[in-house]
Structure 1
Amino acid sequence: MSGDTVRGTTKAEQLYRKLVESSQDAILIKTLDGEITFWNRAAQRLYGYSRQEALGRHIGMLIPAGLKDEEAGLLRRLARGERIDHYETRRTTRDGRVLDIDVTLWPIRSADGTITSACSVARDITDRRRTEAELAGLLAQRRHIALALHLMGTSEPVPGVLAATRYLPSLLGQGVGGDWLDVIDLGAGRVGVFVGDVMGRGLDAAVVMGQLRSAARALALAGLPPAELMKALDVFTTQTLPEQFVTCVYLEADPGRGEMAVCSAGHLPVLLVGADTNVAPLAVPVNVPLGVGGSPHQQVRLPLPAGSTLALYTDGLVETAASDLDRQLELLSATLRTSFAAGADLETAADRVLHALLPSSTTCADDVTLLLIGFPTVPLDSAELTLDTAPRSVRAGRHFVHRHLRSWRLDAVADTALLVTSELLTNAVCHARGPLTVRVWHSARQLGVEVTDRSAPRPQARPADPSEENGRGLLLVDTLADAWGTRPTSTGKTVWFTLLTARADAGPPPPFPRQAYAARTYSGAGPRTDSRE
């Protein structure tokens, strides 16, 4: 026997056996029929069977009941000469535990090239799978938190307003961010619209977004015009949320008057799609973002033509590393133009915008928010009358409103409307400066009356002492009107109320065309001014 051979085994073969036995991976060899012919120490540790228990047994002792066909398929592939790398599956141990394993298999050939058996190298990945599942759960929780923040405070769509929204959270990092949008029923046929973006990503940005969205909604419902609202939000951001910068745009739309007031804090331009499908950006001054402080925010009043649609969005829709911003804005305008020219509704147009600007939306590097909002194509019937602050104006105002109620065939709500109108006019004559303007309007579902004066203090409903002659008017208004409120004007204030005309009709009201917000995205319509409406 030569020096290189010990008891019929070469030193090289002994070295290979030592390497295999010392491997941390479970190594076994099986015939193409599945009989185990080799079993190293790591296989014994992993599966729990000793070498004596495993050799000569069928590989099926390791296969869970539901995977018998899988093992047969692997043996057939090995018989064809295939190598199978990092195949993830499950195996059963001697004590009945089921492990997740990563296995690599390859065929073993004889000297003449015939496949005689197969080698299997397996590694336990149960802990890795558990960690991956926990990580996936945490990511899902973060995304749930982000969506919960974006859904916070939402309610039904605003009656008579068509809207379609899309919100795609960033798929990078934590998958959450600071984009938000909101549509708010301000009462008296007016609608408030917000879109904003907190700079940065992650839960911190999402939490700041939630705070700002709540503050903005409260200020809008309090009747602050856009410039004053932006000033208040800027103070809130600067003092309460230091080192935060926010871009946003807020507009008050009054479809009945065909106008809107808009204020932008460093945000991208709002696009207006006209009834003729032409698309143009609104001519709005771009003020500094919220959080900078010390700079006034300027608002503008612009026409809102009947049949118009507004497109509001955040930078995630148009700013990408591989494209020019101006070209993306041109593409957005062109997509809106062709979509509406083809007769697309808002939901279809929103889908087309995402497809055109974000063809690979599965890799969004930033949050994407899009809001398309359309207004009625038919103007409201309305009329105005100017009065002085003399007592006779109460009677004149009542006659004016009554005449139009008759012409609009709204006699069923006339008694209530005239009583509440009298209270508002009496309050204005007694406590405000003139001239007074009475405006009456109606839509398919409600009647509205507005009294505008030249005094800034807003009336407040209060309980009256039994001995007082005054103090009950606004409580009466609150009781009889379906909704009422006040809002500042450039020279004073407006006090308004609405009544639902549908209740007085013999039949149901004409249906409002509504388009639901996409279920896969954020649904952003705001609550009504008065829950009874």
Structure 2
Amino acid sequence: SRYRPATQGAGVGGDWFDLIPLGADRVGVLIGDVMGRGLEAAAVMGQLRSAAHALAKTGMQPRQLMRALDTCVADLDVPDQLVTCCYLVIAPDAGTVTVCSAGHLPVLVAGAGDGISALPCPVNAPLGVGDVLYEQSSSEIPPGATLVLYTDGLIETPGCDIEVRIGELSVLLDDLFVGTPCLEAAADHVLAGLLLDADSHNDDVTLLLAQLPAAPLATLTTHFPAVPASVPEGRAFLHKALTSWNCADSAADALLLLSETLTNAVQHASGPVGLHLHRTETDLTVEVSDGSAQLPQPRSAIEDEESGRGLILVRALAASWGVRPTDEGKTTWFTLRL
């Protein structure tokens, strides 16, 4: 990442970016630009950055996060405030990047094997316009490719068409990503190529290069009906996978936690119930998806209750766990260290 404050004009700017661990090997990437300058723009930026980080941690989808941020902007006591923003979720196990942009500049993809291309994304209005139905899109991006995010200070210059400047950025990136460049050196090269006079730019400059991580070593997916017999079937599926992956040492905890999450889905959700496994060199992640939008909550069971302890076990034994909403319902996941 690179940030260069404006060298001309009064006041600070409203650029920000964030990388947000979402669990289950997913990462959220956020960049935004509050229009205007001065302490007011910086204050709005700080509020939106904090709100976006907290909202992203809930696992909500990019379009839902944008709608929530639009409400935040509307609640600010700042008339006619507009903000451009872009939020992406990287899912290495699926090899996908899901993106929603609120009037922000296009995200570029470098190192994907076919030159520099813009990440497909619907055009949405900036935050603050109000009453906008935000849309998102999902694209398959290969491991090792780099996402290039930036604010308008990097490419906007007086008297020059913005599309021309994006083209100049694409040419620079195309030359850099013929091989596998160091991202630190690439960021410096981009700034040197586009900011010819580093002492005379009149807007903040933000550049973020985010390289997609390697794909998991192995993944498996299956589905079961929402019936009690699916719980032992799911355990058998997981045990077979762990044996084939030479992860038998983690089998006891993994099978126990799967039993709890799968039983919860079978008892309280409509089918089918999905089971997705993926492992890296260090972690095993198990995801159980179902058709119910009701999110499970840990609670303390009284002494003679037969239920209410499942998520307490998950929280105690898993390295991390969580629940994220989906279009079909929800996905409950946990990760164990191998």
User: Would you call these one fold, judging by a TM-score over 0.5?
Assistant: yes
For 2:41 and 2:282, the matched residues in 1 are separated by: 40
Structure 1 pair 392–240 and aligned structure 2 pair: CA distance change class (3 A): same
Higher relative contact order (CA 8 A, sep 6+): 2
Alignment partner, residue 206 of structure 1:
42
Report matched runs for 1:469-488 at 5 Å: 469-488=306-325
- What are the superposed Cα offsets for residues 476-517 of structure 1, whole Å, 9 maximum, x if unpaired? 10000010000111111000000122xxxxxxxxxxxxxxxx
- Could you tell me which amino acid in structure 2 is paired with residue 171 of structure 1? T
Question: Of 423, 427, 452, which residue of structure 1 is paired with 2:289?
Answer: 452
Q: TM-score, normalised by structure 1?
A: 0.62
Larger radius of gyration between Structure 1 and Structure 2 = 1
Alignment partner, residue 92 of structure 1:
none
Structure 1 pair 282–372 and aligned structure 2 pair: CA distance change class (3 A): same
SS at match of 2:222: strand
Alignment partner, residue 14 of structure 1:
none
Question: Of 206, 230, 245, which residue of structure 1 is paired with 2:66?
Answer: 230
- What are the superposed Cα offsets for residues 451-485 of structure 1, whole Å, 9 maximum, x if unpaired? 00000000000111222111111011000001000
How many residue pairs match? The answer is 337
Alignment partner, residue 102 of structure 2:
265
Over aligned residues, Cα RMSD in angstroms? 1.2
SS at match of 1:412: helix
Answer yes or no: is 1:215 the counterpart of 2:56: no
- Could you tell me which amino acid in structure 1 is paired with residue 163 of structure 2? D
Off by >4 Å, runs of 4+ in structure 1: none
The CA deviation at 1:357 is: 0.6
Question: Of 166, 169, 188, which residue of structure 1 is paired with 2:2?
Answer: 166
Q: TM-score, normalised by structure 2?
A: 0.97
Answer yes or no: is 1:184 the counterpart of 2:20: yes
SS at match of 1:466: coil
- What are the superposed Cα offsets for residues 229-252 of structure 1, whole Å, 9 maximum, x if unpaired? 111110110122432110000011
Structure 1 pair 332–241 and aligned structure 2 pair: CA distance change class (3 A): farther
SS at match of 1:286: coil
For 1:277 and 1:345, the matched residues in 2 are separated by: 19
The CA deviation at 1:394 is: 0.6
Contact 1:250 1:264 in 2 (8 A): yes
Contact 2:92 2:214 in 1 (8 A): no
For 2:59 and 2:179, the matched residues in 1 are separated by: 38
The CA deviation at 1:343 is: 3.4
Contact 2:216 2:279 in 1 (8 A): no
SS at match of 1:287: coil
Structure 1 pair 301–343 and aligned structure 2 pair: CA distance change class (3 A): closer
Gaps of 5+ in 1: 1-164, 502-533
Alignment partner, residue 248 of structure 1:
85
Report matched runs for 1:88-167 at 5 Å: 165-167=1-3
For 2:108 and 2:228, the matched residues in 1 are separated by: 47
- Could you tell me which amino acid in structure 1 is paired with residue 32 of structure 2? G
SS at match of 1:201: coil
For 2:179 and 2:322, the matched residues in 1 are separated by: 41
SS at match of 1:238: helix
The CA deviation at 1:402 is: 1.0
Alignment partner, residue 404 of structure 1:
241
Question: Of 380, 388, 409, which residue of structure 1 is paired with 2:225?
Answer: 388
Alignment partner, residue 420 of structure 1:
257
Structure 1 pair 316–436 and aligned structure 2 pair: CA distance change class (3 A): same
Percent same amino acid at aligned positions? 51
Contact 1:402 1:414 in 2 (8 A): yes
